[in-house]
A and B are shown apart, each in its own frame.
Chain A
Amino acid sequence: MRMFPSPNKTIVLAAGFLACAPLSADVTFERILNADAEPHNWLSYSRTLSNQRYSPLDQINTGNVQNLELAWIWQARSLEKFEATALAVDGILYTVQAPNDVVALDAETGRVFWTYHHEPSPDARLCCGRVNRGLAILGDTLYMGTIDAYLLAIDAKSGTLVWKTKVAEAADRFSITMSPNVIKDKVIVGTAGGDMGIRAHISAFDAKTGEEVWRFYTIPGPGEPGNDTWLGDSWMTGGAAVWNAAAYDPETNLAFWGTGNPAPDWDGSTRLGDNLYSDAVVALDVDTGELKWYYQFTPHDELDYDATQVPVLADIEWRGELRKVMLWANRNGLMYVLDRVTGEFLHGKPYVVHNWWAGFDENGRLIRKPDMEVTPEPKVFQPHVHGAINWQPPSFSPKTGLYYVSHWENSSIVGIEGQFPQANGVNRRQTAMGQVNLEPFFNTEDEAYGVIRAYDPSTLDPVWEHRMADITWAGVLSTAGDLVFGGGREGYFLALDAGSGELLWKASLGGQINAGPMTYAVNGRQYVTIAAGSALFAFRLGD
């Protein structure tokens, strides 16, 4: 593996970034769009709308990260997985206590300013935990999607409800778990519930009033292009859910969402066809909701390979020219580089041990090995039906030029028993859904392991890796301090050298990490936070 040269380990204090006094100005969309102008804040899910989850803060860096100390812990009053990434706005953190309580915390002490409680309807049904991945902000209003499929606007100062709009019917198995996107004057959110027979949609709402402005169904209706990729009426219950944050490119006015698996998950016989736009990325004009392009990662998926990862936008050197691309480590075990302006497939290859991929055709369409269809005869699939990754957010550092992804290696046996498909892992615990508490782990490395890897986007080859015994549901953060922060189901919060992958610091937090780290600064000090178990931990350099 290629190793980067040793980074400069001198301590650089970005005083201009860190000394910013609290602002009382509202969070305008211009501020969100130009987030790099205020690195002490974290104004959207992955800090920037390119979803790079990279911070220009460098007070904490490779030279001093071993001096990180716990600043505070905030315990959520919740037994659900803590998946939210907090927003940091001028010294205040806003996060979600699962399932749907909004909390304002003092960023220096972790003490609570206020809590807004939403009591979800008993109709809310979720496949994978009553979770929430975070908030969006515009002006002095916070936005949260709820597990009973409402979109709420909460006053960021007083913690009171401003408006509440029903996005879809919870009784029809719709839910919202993603952090909404604020783009221009709209709040845009997608619906989860894809395994339960919904027809998902992405909907835009007027940020001031909560009125719906446009709606895009991720499964085309009768007469629309793509509807014929579904057998019979299967489009009506075909899933293609949306449950992770979009990226936005102001140059093209396009936003990009990943879509989930077609339903039913593992039996495609009732929904023959490609099942557009499941397991795809859709590029929508944010003013109108019009589809500009799409790319389907897994046509006619029978292995539950949601493409609900966070799209990462980057401008990289590509075959000798600067190219506006989208990087995507997909659940199907393949990593992609797409042209984000046109949707053109540029490159793709497996990033984990893979046994059913045969290549791509000239249009970039996935080709399966002929003997690797899902059949009644059980056979081993690599990766596992839980894929190579799930929703955890990756990172791209413009400083190192590397794409950082936390994912896992594994396999499973898939076959169809009788009428219903069965997916049997070698050991179901190898990628089981994240929990709050630590659990013993028994797999050998051959069966499963978690890993944080750095990839070179121009080749999609790994540059370094940090292996973990257990798998990981934790996202990663890269910083200008040449650090990559991450973790995993083992409950360790880690700092790695962004250039070499060397483990520089770790803390055992006593609970599983099921969230992405973030960083902010207040009163001249940089903090790094991570949720583990049901608590939020903040670290800073010791006095």
Chain B
Amino acid sequence: MYPADGPPDKALADRWTWDAFLDAARKCHKAGFPFGIGFGTTADSVDSAGAMFAAFGAALVDRKGSIAVDSDATRAVLDYAKRLAAVMPPDVFAWDDASNNKWLISGKGALIMNPPSAWAVAKRDNPKVAEQLWTFPAPRGPKGRYQPGLNYFWGIWKFSRNKAAAKSLLAFLSQRSSVERLVVASGGFDMPPFAGLRDLGIWSQVAPPKGTLRHYPPSGDQIVSVSGMPAPPAIGVQIYTQAIMTKMIAKFVQAGDSASKVVAWATSELEGLMRT
């Protein structure tokens, strides 16, 4: 599907859908090494849930700022999450950003949804696990293959006394050579935001195993999105911070609320987030 030394096999990659993911999750659960995707309230969980929601076409708030959570797509993703949660550890609703890494490195889990920081820590703490880790894209849903993304920004203070020098520094740091040095220093973890910079050699070179990060940079049909999109930023950041999506999943799966009740709760929360 995603070979260590070459581009993806399109035919196989097209069959890497969320349904295939669930099928694999069931088999790994039966074998005693379940998948582990957090449904907690920290960034990793919210990122994963956001990719899942986007793949099913479920948006909480649309581009214009109208509440759009009450949809068939939302009900579909909740139902999917319920089937997935049944074959994952019961703790996933309390996972924080370290839990999935610990789960994988302990050797108990078969898959997590995370950048390769878990692999980097495994290299240090449990090399036998690290040697068997491969990073590859998220599955494809009815509306596309969505990859969780979280961009960071550099800025210059308005009150800065040396804006020219600051701009010069930022321009230097944005050059390909500087970006490459930063990515190499992070062991391939850092991901440049621009597609033109995602062909650096580091990802094919780091090991073991060789090629473990070959398919880490988003490419092809992958769409990088931030959880909460396409809501306007002021609302989207609240959706993210308040972990509305993972709480919806937890209410549906763990608390046993009906989809209608979950949607009603989410609508109420979103109305609150829209206060000015």
- Judge: A and B partners, yes or no: no
Q: Which residues of chain B have a CB within 8 Å of any CB of chain A? A: none
Q: Which residues of chain A have a CB within 8 Å of any CB of chain B? A: none
